[in-house]
Amino acid sequence: MINVLFFAKYREQLNMDSLQLDADFSSVQSVIEALKNKGDTWHQVFTQSGLMIAVNQQMAKLNSPLKDGDEVAFFPPVTGG
């Protein structure tokens, strides 16, 4: 299984903080494509610019590989003043 976490505005937009997916995803991009297919809101969230990604609490890229047991987190860019 791959544990997927959503933070900040993504958590609010999707109305959930996490979900689990089968481990048959080879990369972060493949997870995003599957999530975008879950419906209009999901598609909007995962086509927004600035999507930040972490795999096992390390910053990651779309082509970052995944394996069974990984944790993938999605969060918006950090801003502040």
**Could you tell me the mean pLDDT of each successive run of 10 residues in the chain, 81 residues long?**
96 97 93 96 93 97 96 88 60
In this prediction, residue 6 carries a pLDDT of 98
24/18 Cα distance (integer angstroms): 18
Sign for the CA dihedral angle at 39, 41, 42, 44 comes to positive
Q: What is the pTM of this model?
A: 0.92
In this prediction, residue 23 carries a pLDDT of 83
76/8 Cα distance (integer angstroms): 7
In this prediction, residue 81 carries a pLDDT of 60
State the residue range of the domain holding 58: 2-75
The answer to whether residue 43 sits within a structural domain is yes
What does the block give as tokens for 71? Answer: 């944790």
Cross-strand pairs, 65: 27
In this prediction, residue 55 carries a pLDDT of 98
The answer to whether residue 28 sits within a structural domain is yes
Kindly compute the dihedral angle of the four CA atoms of residues 8, 23, 59, 13, in this order, to the nearest 10 degrees: -20
The answer to whether residue 53 sits within a structural domain is yes
Q: CATH number for the domain including 60? A: 3.10.20.30
Whether 28 contacts 3, CB under 8 Å = no
| Closest C-alpha to 64, from 22, 32, 26 | 26
